[in-house]
Structures are given as C-alpha cells and as structure tokens.
Structure 1
Amino acid sequence: MPTMKFANIILEANQRSVSYPDLYCRSDQPVIFDDHEGEWAMYRAGLYDFNTYFNSLSVMKLRRYTRSTGYTLHLELRGADCTVTQTMGDAFAVHPIPVNEVEFHVAASDTWQGLDIPLKVKDDMVLIGFNIETQGRVYIRNGYYALDYEGDERPVELALATTTFKKESYITHNIGLVRRKIVESGEDIADHFHMYVIDNGRTLDAPALASERIQIIPNDNVGGAGGFTRGMLAAMDQKPRATNILLMDDDVDVSPESIKRTYNLLRILKPGYEKAMISGAMLNYEVGEDQWEDIGYMTPEGTFSPCKPGLRLVLFEDLIYNELFKPNKVMKANLYAAWWYCCIPLSVIDKNGLPLPFFVRSDDAEYGMRCKTPFITMNGLCIWHMSFHERYNAAVERYQTTRNTMIAKATTGVARRSDFMHELHNNIRLELKKFGYQNAELCLDAFEDFLKGPGFFSQIGKAEETFLRANRVKEQLVDFDQLQRQLDADPETKGLRLNQIDRQLIDGDKPRTTLERLEDYVTDNGQRYLKTEGKGYAVIPLLGWVYPAGAIRGKNKLIVLDWYNRKGAVRVKDPERYARIKKRYARDLRYYRANIKRISRDYAHDRARLTSQGFWRKYLKMD
C-alpha cells in the first residue's frame, strides 16, 4: 500500500509563534529554536504536548474525505531520556487523552534517533497527536505524519493566485515565503506548483520577484474579482493545465505548511470530494490564536455571516468543535468559502463559469453559492488576516455590498431566500438615524446602479470608475489632529478633548424607555414628523452596523471615530437633507416595483456572457 508524507510537525521562529506558542506546542517548559540544522530544544525536563492546532492530525476528516487507511508519526530525537505517547481527542475532550497502547521510551543519546510510530485510530477519534515527556533537554527535528492510502495518487497541478494593489510589504514577504518553503523545498509540491501574482497596481518589480514558478502579471485595476479571474485564466492556460487553483488575499500572513497540506489533501481525495472547495480559516492578524471564520453563509436577512462562533485555537475543546461543526439547514442553503484562502478545482470553474465582474465584495460568496460544491475545512489550513472592524470602508460596505448582492441574486439566482431589499432599507435607515447622509446616499447610488441593468456594471472600466467614485463621495475622515482643530473651532464641541476619550466612551450606549424607543422609531431620531433640532453631541464608533441608539438620541452632532486608525468626522443633524434622501429612496422604490421583473430577466439572460472566458479575456484586455 502506498505511503505519503502528509503534514510536517512545525515549530516556527517568528513573532506569531513566540506570541502564541500553544498553536504549536503546549508545554510547562520553554521550547527554543536552535538554528543548527533546523532543530528545536525542549529545554528542560517536562511535558510537551503537540496535539495542537498545527501539529495534531485531523483523522476524522481524513477518513471522511480521503482514501487514507493508516497513520504513522515520524520523529527524530536526541538528548535525555524521554517517552513519546500518542494522544487523542473525541467529541467531548477538553484536553488531549493519552492512548497508552502507543507509548515509546527513547533512551538518552547524543546522536539522532529516528522513530516511526504506527498510530492507533478508532471511530470516535476526532484528532490524534502526541506528547513527549522528557527527563532533561531533548532536541527534535524532521517530524511529520505519514499516511497509507488506497488506490493511486491523483495527479495534481496546484496554482496559487493572489491579487495585489500597492501592498508591496505584504506581497513581497509572501512571495519570499513561497519561494523558500515551497518552490525550493525539494518536496513533491515543488514540481507541481505555480504562483501567479496579479499586480493590479503595476508597482511590483517583476524581474526581481519572478522565477520559473512565480509569475508577476501586470494588470489593470479590476479589483479582487478581476484579479482572481485573471489568475484562473492563467491556471487554465499554463502547461500542464492546473487541476486546482488556490485563491489567497495579498494582505495576509500565510503559513506555507497550509499550502503543502492542501496539495497533499488533493492528492488522495475520495472521488466524492474531488470537486470540493477547500476553505482555509481566517485567523485574527492581531490576536493570532483567534479564528474568525472558515466557511460562511448568506443569512435570510441578506447579510454575510460566519457559520461558526469565534474560536480560540489554543483551547483543545475549540479544536474539537472546529472539526465536528456541521452547518444547519439554513446555512447549507447558502454556503460559501471566502477567497482569503480558497482552493477550487478547475473542473468546477469549467462547469460553472468564471466569477462576476464585481471589482470587490460578494464575488467569493456568490461563486461559492453558485457552484454548490462540498466544502472541506481542517485545523491547520489557514491565513492570518486583518479583522474587518479595523478596515471598515463605507465605499465597500454601503456601495459595493449593496449593489453586488442584488446583482448576484438576479444574475445567477443565488441566495433566493435572502432579502437584500430588507438589508438596503435597514442600512439606509441606520445611516440616517446616525446622520450618515453621505453613506445613505451611497446605498442609493448602489441601488440605482443595480437598476440600470447588466449592461452598465459590466462595461470595461466601469467597475473601477464606480468604486473610485464611491470612495470620493463617502464620508471623508480626517486624522485626530485635524479633527481636534475642527472640534476646537465649534463652540458646541470646544471642550471635547480627543486625548481624554477612551473606548469605553466610544463603544458605550445609554438605556431608552419604551416611549423613547417608539419616538425614535417614528421620527428617525427627530428628523420626520415631530422634528427636533437636537442638542449637544455624542461620540460613537465609525462601524456602519453599530447602533448606539441611546447615546445618539436627541443630539445635534455626532463625533464618529475610527479609533484603530486614529481618524474621525463630525456629523451634523440635517432634517432637510434627510427629507431629500427619503424622497429619492421613495422614487427609486417606485421604479424598482415597476421594473424589477424586466431587470431580473435581463441579468439572468446575461449570465452566460458575464461568466464566459470570452467576456473576461476581452474585459481584462487579454485578447
């Protein structure tokens, strides 16, 4: 029966591993990197647990998705006496449980001793791993899990596509990692791998960064959707043709081991999962042990949502939960995998067509819901990404998301039960209550552009044009120094000092009585019917989905702060502008009700054209 090296035991020397060592090894003594031949020292006598996010083996999922039949742990050790014991976790485990039948004593030695330990697997095991109990300092190197598998290995040609726009520090770092750890690794993946960097900003030094298996492709600024599609077409055109393409954001920190494991997983998939998408998790760039999402779904209310709650990946019970989680019926109807790390078979692209030309936002969600493949997730497959609240952009959230979700539903029929009109109404009303008039108008810009039909948004250059316009007309933030000068010049806010504000004030709210709630609902915070001028000011967060109703009621000014980026703006109550926006919205709704059936037919009729290679090659100026 054939055997393959599936997953390396990884111990890394970087800021993340130092800050969150329990992602790799839990121990009661230090684990120290020794730069001599890539070895690590388990520094003193103690217990070192490797049943962790990166160094456990997901046997339940491997048995479900692959043709694996046997599991072996390879270790190379030297130093003091030690004992290696297999551990496991079942559905209710909160700590790794020793498998006492698999225990190996290693005598003290100054020379390297190689171990190949057959691991015991039972039906109730979700994760397996190992611990090492040492009697003194022990060095470890070249550890990995090997799998026996049935049948022949699938031929895999893996392409990695990443789209970048003037984010040189992120992308050059990731190119360097891929070159050192994958292209030059000497492992099987090195001969079956290509990386395509789609440079939408045309700022990268291609000759310095490119190599035989790493290609820099200068591209017009067509956003993430256009960039990833350019990568898909490159993967189709390469010789030999790629079998799978891994889409990955540029502004992420990647573990090359995740890419290696993805490649190895593809090689031994069962026939029923050969068309599955592999979805890597988004871990928090700032809090590296926190998982935000690995698969998401479109809610009935028309919003994007992770399927799983936030998880702490240094907790063993959360590792078990992560593996066992099953989407419910509502989630299953509208599942997607985000393109911060998503591996798609090219056969799926051949069958379902290319993405829609959205520029940014909703392209990945629409595509996942359209293709309706199985989704594979697994501990250890991930990237680290900036969390969304730290990069809130109204041009994206109010224009792109509003427009693109409506286009997606009309064109390819995804998310049929999601009410995007409800979401539009909710967002407009929320912005108006918070005096965010520019952002409410962005929602209407998006709605009206949707109503123009497929011929409008699919014009060459229109995606960039509309996105740049949305960025120009959105609420403009200024840095704290300039904001303080604005506050000082206004008698109503002159006493407010930004350096005396903290997050407790920014994120705080005040209670409301039932009568006050009713009044706010009817008058939209004093802007219709019983109009009030408002008095004083409140300090609130920038985030569009936040509604500090008690803090803002009855106020004339709102100081909106993006505390993470140290920017903000002053909003002033303007009932006349409110009335103009409401009138415009009512006019748009009348047009929508009278024409939506025709508009939807136009979008659906254009589906084949918009997702075809012919359209995209012309759109990307490849022909």
Structure 2
Amino acid sequence: MASIRFANILLETKPRALHFPTMYYRADVPFRPSGENGAWTLTEGGAVDFTTYFNALSVIKLRRYTRATAYRLHLQVQGAPCSVTQTRATRLGMTPEVLAQTAVELPHTDRWTDVVLDLLDDEQSVLVGFQLASEGVVAMRDAYYEVDIDGDPRTVDLAIATTTFRKESFIRKNMKLVRTELLDADDDISRHLTMHVVDNGRTLDPQESGDPRITISPNENVGGAGGFARGMIEAMEQSTPATNVLLMDDDVEVSPESIRRTYELLRMVNDEYAEAFVSGAMLNIEDTEVMREDTAYIDPELGICMPAKSRMMVSQYLDVVDNEAFDEELSVPANAHRYAAWWYCCIPMSVIRRVGLPLPVFVRYDDVEYSIRSNPKFMTMNGICVWHAKFEIRYNAGVERYQRTRNGMIAQMTTGLAPDFDTFLKGLHRQVDLEMRKFNYTDAELALDGFEDFLKGPKFIEQPVAQERFMRANRIKEQMVPFDELSQQAEDMGLKDFDPERLTRPMMEMDRQRSLQERAFDYLTHNGQRFIPAGSKDEAGAESYAVITHDGWEYPAGAIHGEDIIIAVDWASRKGVIRRKDTKRYREVVKRYKRDMAYFKKHRERLAQEYKDAALKLESVGFWKRYLDME
C-alpha cells in the first residue's frame, strides 16, 4: 500500500476567485489570505466550508477510476479554538452533510498545529470535504487530501503538448505557470513533467522558455491537428518517452493544480481505466462559473457536436454534486460516440502508438475523430478544467462552414463518427439552407467549397494545402465592417433609424412567433426567394429591414419574415454586415448544390474506399514527419 498527496486545497486571489468565491469555499464570515506561507484566515468567529467544485474530494470518481482504499485530510491551523469536521455530499442532499462524529477539536494555539482527519466514505457519498469552524480569529495553511492506494503508484512521465498561433500572451503566461508552479516545485511531478510548445506562428524565441524541460518548436502553420501531431511525436521521442500526453489549447487559462491532479490521478489509476483519456472541463472565461462541457458526443441524427451534460454552474453546490454523479449513459444516445475535446485532453502514449496520430485536417473534428477512433473510456473530475472563450462570441464561418463540412465528411469516411454518412449530407443541406434563408449566399457557398474539397479525395489533403485552404476560407467568407462604416452603408441605402450604438443583445436576439400562413410561405418560397419575381416589393417595402445576430447557428425566422434586407450584427466585435435578397444568386447556389450532390452520388463508393485505404498512411508517424518537414 502507498499514499499519494492527490489534491491541494486551492485558494486563489485571482479575479475569478474574488467574483465567484463559492467555486472554492463558502464562509459565513470574511475569509481572507493572510500573506504568510499561503495561509488564509477566518477574521472572526464563524465557519468556512470546502465542499466545493475545486476543494471537495470526488470519492465517487476515485472509487471508479483508481485503486483508492482510504482518504485523509491534512492541514495546519493557528489561532483561536476551532474544530475541523468532515462533510459529505450525496445525490439528493440540498446542502453538505456535516459529520459531527468526525470533528477534531483544537484549543487556542500560537503555533502552527498539524491536523489529520481520516475521512469516512461509503457508496452513498459523491463528494467528501471539510468545514473549519472557530470561536475567533484562526488561520489555516497547507491543506490537502491524501489517498491510500492498493499497490504501488504507477510511473508517469507527463508531457504537455500545446499548439500556438500568434497568441503570445496566453502561451507565455501558461509557460510561466508550468515553470514556476510545477517544474520548480520540490515534489514528484517536477521530476516527471515536460512541456512542448509547437509554435505554428513562428513568433516565439525558441530559447525564451527559461527551462530546458520546456521546448519551443517553430513549425509551419498546420493548424491544431498538425501542431498536436508534432507535440505527440516530440513527447514520444524525448529522452525519457512520455507515458501520457496532455493536449492543451494555447488560448486557455489553466490552474496548475488541474495539471497536478491529472498527474496524481494517473499514478493511482486502476487497470480498467489505465488507457482512459482524462478530459478536462471547459469553463467560460467570460462567464467564469459556467461549465460548458467535459465530454461530448456526435448526434447520430444531426451529425453535430453535443455536450454530454447540460451546462453546470460550478459555483452552485447542487450542480457540483450533480456534475460528479451524472451518468452519461442516460443522456448520450446508445448509438452515439463520445469524445474529448483538445482544450484539455490527456492521452496515454500506448494509445497513440496503437492508433496513430491525428488526420491532417488543420482544425475542427480532429479531436472528435481521434477520440472516436481510439474508443477509450473517459475520466472527468471536478477541479480538472480550463477556462476558454465562449464559442458564441468567436463564431467563424471559415471554421464552421468550410472546415466543419469538409472535415466531418472526411472523418466519417475514415473512422465513422455517425451511424450513416447521410447524417453529414443532411448537415450540409441544413447549413446551406440556413445561410440562404438569411440571405448569406457567401457562407452558403463556403460550405459547398468544403464539400467540393472533400470530393477531391484523400490525395488532396495529403499535400500541405491545409493552411492555404483555411486562409482562403477566411478571405472569402462574409466580411463584416465596423459600426461606423455599417451606419454609413445603412444611411446610403435609405434604411431609416438604424443606429448600432443603440442596439442591445436582447434586441438582436429577439424573434417572434410566425403564423401558420407565414410558416407555409417561408417554407414554399424559401423565405421569398423562389416562385417570387425579383423586385416584387415596392420601394417603401424595400426600406424595411431586420436586425439579427451574426451568429451563424441562429435562425430568427419571425424576425426576418417578409424582409428583403437583413442587417447581421456581431456585438462582441462591434461589426456587422448588410445583406440583400438576391434571387439570381440564390438560384446559382441551388444549382451548384444539386450538381455537387449528383457528383457525390456517382462517386460515393470510390471515395469511401479511397479514404478508407488512405487512413493508415495519413495517421502514421512517417507521414507526419514528412508533412512537417521533421526528417
């Protein structure tokens, strides 16, 4: 039997912790840092509870994933008489249960005093934690959970692989955190951790990391897929080959404690989960307490990515408990495949050696395809997470229309993301249909560009064309203009009373219910674009317009019904675009869509065989070394 220091009690003074302290603790009196060796102090008599997202111990997950046999709490206290008492959370409890029989009572002490609390556990417990209560001013420090395991810890050499493209501020911050909080620490992880920064933008000095265990590799811009492929290769070939590779986006904020807990989890994992992926949750940078996803799946009917859980508020006790007790088998369809996104995903090297490297698809669906190809179990846990920008405020048609269409179809041919390829054909139809209903013919054609590049077969992506095609998609996608220019365009068109500075998000997102007659009209005429002569509205009618969000996923059918002009606005970037109904262009896109579908139906079997035959080559180390010019 061995003991592992698994999780430190995490207390921070960063803005997110100050705004949402209940992610870390709940106190009925002020609880503040006291500036001495990481100590925090209850400033008067009261209690502080740590049954929270970052500071409760997830015994339900440890029982499932590891060889854990017992749990202990360690901490030091100083000051007024106080007590340390275990708490626990069960599935249906509204508040943490305080286990009075576990209380350790301490008299007043002017010296730091060690407290060790053996934690009770049973099958009903989801989380265990603790409460510190005092009669006056008391301080605590160096609090952590220790786990006893059956047998010896596994030897883990963890390599962080992160890909960056001109996001210097994010990556420099994360390198510094890894260096100061992990590599410079005097504990086990510091001797078994490396970091590989793949610099697709070639904007970093390869010598600037400040530690030989952090390498910066200038790389061609081959997207996330190429960057992570190189990181996997470098982790595989480092002086002591990595046992596990933690893939992490560059534009995330991460707590070093999440990395530490990942490392310790891997040391005590049981045989059943030895080759599982550790999937870190994505919390929103903008809405700090919102957990968007920890694993997801491909909807077998729609072919789209869906979170396995509903959104959780990690500052709320009930959501913290539900997050760990949640059973994905109840929410994920039986015929759907789960995956782990690469904003934070730790993969065993044994899996990489067995199933190969990512497909050369630049961005989008690379992580989805890889998880589904690997077919692993997944480990998730409260407190293992990153903060990432919300998807809603970084919509990019170059990614969501071109990359998503092309890569989803490639991955379906090579790996099988959904039960049937027709799922992705329906998805293409929905994308083109949605954009045209909103008069966005440019981005409808962008989706067809992705389809047509897929139709070129695997030899097309074997060549280093990924960057050029992605850059082209971003050049030709619908281009928005700043608000001042948008206002001038609206004025020149005679659109009355349009003032973007007076807009609010609810105004842009507002929709209305359509009548049955209006719904029938929109369906039959494709929002007034077929069976209706161009220019049928009078001049006064043409001056009316609808203002909607530029978010490509939305369809405000009632707001745009009967309009010839749509102003689409992106409130985050303070930009927008004016669209006019164009029946001629509408017919051209429809004609192109039908022509592409006819070609696919004729060549479907050939394409399926070509992609299947090419998969092993495209996923091999030899291919990637040539592709990345590493040989």
TM-score range, shorter chain: over 0.9
In 2, Cα distance between equivalents of 1:620 and 1:434: 40
Q: 1:579 aligns with which of 587, 593, 602?
A: 587
Partner of 1:212: 212
Partner of 2:430: 426
Counterparts of 1:6-21 in structure 2, within 5 Å, are 6-21=6-21
Amino acid in the other structure paired with 2:291: Q
Deviation at 1:494, TM superposition (A): 4.1
Partner of 2:207, secondary structure, is: helix
* TM-score w.r.t. length of structure 1: 0.98
Amino acid in the other structure paired with 2:460: F
In 2, Cα distance between equivalents of 1:413 and 1:310: 27
Partner of 1:500: 502
Partner of 1:22, secondary structure, is: helix
Partner of 1:538: 546
Contact (CA 8 Å) 1:307, 1:331: kept in 2 or not?
no
Q: 1:401 aligns with which of 382, 404, 415?
A: 404
In 2, Cα distance between equivalents of 1:64 and 1:497: 57
Q: 2:486 aligns with which of 480, 483, 488?
A: 483
Show CA shifts across 1:564-587 (max 9, x none): 111111111111000000000010
Deviation at 1:104, TM superposition (A): 0.8
Q: Describe the shift of the 1:16–1:332 C-alpha distance in structure 2 as closer, same or farther (beyond 3 A).
A: farther
The CA RMSD over aligned residues, in Å, is: 1.1
Partner of 2:560: 552
Show CA shifts across 1:501-521 (max 9, x none): 212210001221111101101
State whether structure 2 residue 620 is matched by structure 1 residue 617: no
Partner of 1:351, secondary structure, is: helix
Which stretch of the first structure deviates more once superposed, 253-262 or 22-31? 22-31
Contact (CA 8 Å) 2:364, 2:399: kept in 1 or not?
yes
Amino acid in the other structure paired with 1:433: R
State whether structure 2 residue 419 is matched by structure 1 residue 416: yes
Partner of 2:40: 40
In 1, Cα distance between equivalents of 2:176 and 2:43: 30
Partner of 2:531: 529
Show CA shifts across 1:58-112 (max 9, x none): 0011011101101000010101111111000111122111112211111111110
Deviation at 1:415, TM superposition (A): 2.2
Q: 2:456 aligns with which of 440, 452, 457?
A: 452
Amino acid in the other structure paired with 1:544: G
Counterparts of 1:220-369 in structure 2, within 5 Å, are 220-300=220-300, 301-328=302-329, 330=333, 333-369=336-372
Partner of 2:429, secondary structure, is: helix
Deviation at 1:205, TM superposition (A): 2.5
In 2, Cα distance between equivalents of 1:331 and 1:386: 31
In 2, Cα distance between equivalents of 1:331 and 1:506: 38
In 1, Cα distance between equivalents of 2:470 and 2:135: 62
Contact (CA 8 Å) 2:364, 2:404: kept in 1 or not?
yes
Contact (CA 8 Å) 1:408, 1:414: kept in 2 or not?
yes
**5+ unaligned residues in a row in structure 2: which ranges?**
none
Partner of 2:63: 63
Amino acid in the other structure paired with 2:516: T
Amino acid in the other structure paired with 2:284: N
Q: 1:435 aligns with which of 417, 435, 439?
A: 439
Contact (CA 8 Å) 2:303, 2:424: kept in 1 or not?
yes
Sequence identity of aligned pairs in percent? Answer: 48
Partner of 1:94: 94
Partner of 2:192: 192
In 2, Cα distance between equivalents of 1:448 and 1:131: 61
Contact (CA 8 Å) 1:526, 1:532: kept in 2 or not?
no
**5+ unaligned residues in a row in structure 1: which ranges?**
none
In 1, Cα distance between equivalents of 2:334 and 2:137: 49
Contact (CA 8 Å) 1:297, 1:331: kept in 2 or not?
no
In 2, Cα distance between equivalents of 1:298 and 1:72: 40
Contact (CA 8 Å) 2:199, 2:216: kept in 1 or not?
yes
Show CA shifts across 1:425-455 (max 9, x none): 0110000000011100000000000000000
The size of the alignment, in residue pairs, is 621
Partner of 1:154, secondary structure, is: coil
Amino acid in the other structure paired with 1:113: T
Contact (CA 8 Å) 1:162, 1:197: kept in 2 or not?
yes
Amino acid in the other structure paired with 2:487: Q
In 2, Cα distance between equivalents of 1:511 and 1:330: 31
Counterparts of 1:580-595 in structure 2, within 5 Å, are 580-595=588-603
Partner of 2:471: 468
Partner of 1:287, secondary structure, is: coil
Contact (CA 8 Å) 1:93, 1:316: kept in 2 or not?
no
In 1, Cα distance between equivalents of 2:10 and 2:43: 17
In 1, Cα distance between equivalents of 2:431 and 2:416: 23
Q: Describe the shift of the 1:260–1:142 C-alpha distance in structure 2 as closer, same or farther (beyond 3 A).
A: same
In 2, Cα distance between equivalents of 1:331 and 1:446: 30
In 1, Cα distance between equivalents of 2:361 and 2:236: 21
In 2, Cα distance between equivalents of 1:265 and 1:315: 25
Q: 2:391 aligns with which of 388, 393, 400?
A: 388
Contact (CA 8 Å) 1:299, 1:331: kept in 2 or not?
no
Show CA shifts across 1:268-314 (max 9, x none): 11011100000000001111111000000000211011010001111
Show CA shifts across 1:524-558 (max 9, x none): 11101134645311000111110000111111111
Provide runs of 4+ in structure 1 moved above 6 Å.
none
Partner of 1:370: 373
Contact (CA 8 Å) 1:80, 1:109: kept in 2 or not?
yes
In 2, Cα distance between equivalents of 1:299 and 1:510: 28
Deviation at 1:186, TM superposition (A): 1.1
Amino acid in the other structure paired with 2:391: F
Amino acid in the other structure paired with 2:236: M
Partner of 2:614: 606
Contact (CA 8 Å) 2:175, 2:209: kept in 1 or not?
yes
Deviation at 1:208, TM superposition (A): 2.2
* TM-score w.r.t. length of structure 2: 0.97
